[in-house]
Chain A
């Protein structure tokens, strides 16, 4: 008999508790849009923060809340993923050009000799908080790999020969983690071009030409030659430094040929035909000459700006 009483009383308690729980759950129910779950499922689930939100769930919530998707974009999933999200929400996806991270420093160990040795904690952030770096260039890569640590997608690696990070374009999702991690602001997210072709000024040295050239043989010396040769107005000069606007650049490669220090880098292009191949630039006559053409160049630049 004891067993029967036990079963009956336990069942009674269970049923009572279930009824109470049911009413409590009804009373304190929080309504959540079921589409949030759907949108979250459509997202890649990387939780990288590249969209600017704390994770995929937070991004999904703001997608559902938003009146249109123009300000919201998941760089990892790209346009396909955003189309999926737009379908769920019955909105229109805004197509964005995919981007890729680009490291704007070209000063490897051979081009940018070390002037001292750092033996503190192996972190770019720590090194940058202490001094300008192991080389004469205070703008260049510190080579401790904070960007590599920051990358969740295994898309950036240090090249042991040059001591510079290299981006694997296929893996890079342009989440921007490395951009934030770099204390020297060397990494930029640039528009992806067909066949992963790229032309950019791989330098951020704002020193005057002579100073820049002294510390690094591939530094931008601000000579403005590329600025003058560019047929598409894609190049701007500021603080002794050229910058190529990826939106305007048509990848014609004229600036690459013109650059006296090879600071402008072209990537993933087929080899040039022999007739356009210029003889290699003489590296010797640099330091004295670098500063001289600069002033006249800056003048002509301002003139150009005025005439525009």
Chain B
């Protein structure tokens, strides 16, 4: 009996077309747009101006606060301008435009692929390196990693959980990374363990990635501190709280952070980025992005420089199919449709999903039939039908007392609703409003 989380969850069709496609390096784009806000927290402050020459890995924007992250140039060339442009959030955001000229790297970065296992185990040194490299959670939430590694006073990390679940359908970026960069991920895991001062790490992987489980088990055969945990396939197991519940059986209390139960969760992509930052001095300038979809001629996994426009990825995957209905940044469950193909790949882009017209269209919403399926599938034990109604009617105090802030926006409720109600649309809106109210109360 495989482990999993207890309440809720759904089983969307997996459609992992690109699971057997090795990670390819994408050709350098002609120009990039690197937004200064690619993470949760304060936007970074641009350090370059029009006409400056930059190298690959050079810092171009400084973290704008404690919860923020540095931004580095992913290409070498000339800064064209610092201006607004639309990113995957759908709104114009400040960012740096760079025209690519050659591929000249900063001298401090080690560019070869040789595995380096030894590292300095001093926690502060590691965290400083991670902070300088601008590493954020690559699972999609983009929370700055150095903040996660410094638990608030009074709480103590007991274990590290590495998230290799990749429960989103279609996406295979983490899967390929585990297969191809297993050793690097394990070194990254050990670095993170040293930074946190813990001596136990779990790597949670869903059972539909048997090859990745096998590979990592083989690599950790002689190591007792890192345990590979195969998990039953169920969405949204990649959610931080669901993963902790699945692996350890502990439940994060409402409104609390995972550190409350002694756990710190990081994505496998983050572990790999940590390895590169600490061992190779390479900042976070590229990531694996899955480009996939039912009618995409060549579903692929690309190693992409941050700032590359999405249309270059689509071209490399065989071009935009004729029956395209939507292009989604991220997976089909939590991803967001993008309004233009010029938006850049950012640190949080895990996939580009091209949905055919007939799948992409949302059905007309009908009246709630009180079937309670949304309540059954909600992994947080909430009542989505009720939260939607109170958000629609703007009864914010009721929304707050019904724990709207505990929603993880996984979309299981909207996915399962037989009346096709836009449950998550309204809950997300309510969550934003209630969040504002709570923040204004604290001031």
Residues of A within 8 A of B (CB): 115-116, 119-121, 123, 125-126, 129-132, 138
Contacts and interface: CB of A to CB of B under 8 A. Distances in A.
A132 B392 CA distance: 20
Given A132-B91, A132-B92, 13 more contacts: A116-B340, A120-B362, A120-B422, A121-B365, A123-B426, A123-B429, A126-B429, A129-B429, A130-B336, A131-B91, A131-B339, A132-B86, A138-B91
Given A132-B91, A138-B91, A138-B92, A126 B426 contact: yes
Contacts of A119: 361-362
Interface in B410-443: 422, 425-426, 428-429, 432
10 contacts: A120-B362, A121-B365, A121-B426, A126-B425, A129-B429, A130-B336, A131-B89, A131-B339, A132-B90, A132-B339
A132 B428 CA distance: 16
Nearest to B89: A131
A190 B97 CA distance: 42
Instruction: Report whether over half of chain A's contact residues are helix, strand or loop; otherwise say mixed.
Output: loop
B339 A115 contact: yes
Given A120-B422, A121-B422, A121-B426, A129 B339 contact: no
Contacts of A121: 365, 422, 425-426
Contacts of B392: 123
Contacts of B422: 120-121, 126
A258 B339 CA distance: 35
B339 A116 contact: yes
Nearest to A129: B429
A129 B86 contact: no
Contacts of A123: 392, 425-426, 429
B429 A125 contact: yes
Given A115-B340, A130-B336, A120 B90 contact: no
A63 to B, nearest CB: 27
A131 B91 CA distance: 6
B354 to A, nearest CB: 15
A126 B340 CA distance: 19
A120 B339 contact: no
Contacts of B92: 132, 138
A213 B362 CA distance: 32
B435 to A, nearest CB: 11
Contacts of B361: 119
B253 to A, nearest CB: 27
Interface string B88-118: 0111100000000000000000000000000
A120 B425 contact: yes
B429 to A, nearest CB: 5
Contacts of B91: 131-132, 138
Given A120-B425, A138-B91, A129 B340 contact: no
A116 B336 CA distance: 14
Interface in B328-366: 336, 339-340, 361-362, 365
A131 B86 CA distance: 10
Contacts of A116: 339-340
Contacts of B426: 121, 123, 126
A119 B360 CA distance: 9
A130 B340 contact: no
Interface string B293-324: 00000000000000000000000000000000
A129 B428 contact: yes
A176 to B, nearest CB: 15
Contacts of A129: 428-429, 432
A126 B426 CA distance: 7
Interface string B193-209: 00000000000000000
Contacts of B432: 129
B395 to A, nearest CB: 14
A126 B431 CA distance: 11
Nearest to B428: A129
Nearest to A135: B339
User: Which of A121, A125, A130, A138 has the most B CB atoms < 10 Å from its CB?
Assistant: A121
Nearest to A150: B394
A129 B436 CA distance: 13
B158 to A, nearest CB: 37
Nearest to A181: B394
Interface string B271-283: 0000000000000
Nearest to A131: B90
Contacts of B89: 131
B84 to A, nearest CB: 9
B311 to A, nearest CB: 15
Contacts of A115: 339-340
Nearest to A115: B339
Nearest to B431: A129
Contacts of A130: 90, 336, 425
A149 to B, nearest CB: 10
A258 to B, nearest CB: 29
A259 to B, nearest CB: 25
Contacts of A125: 429
A116 B422 CA distance: 19
A112 to B, nearest CB: 14
Nearest to B88: A131
Nearest to B394: A125
Contacts of B340: 115-116
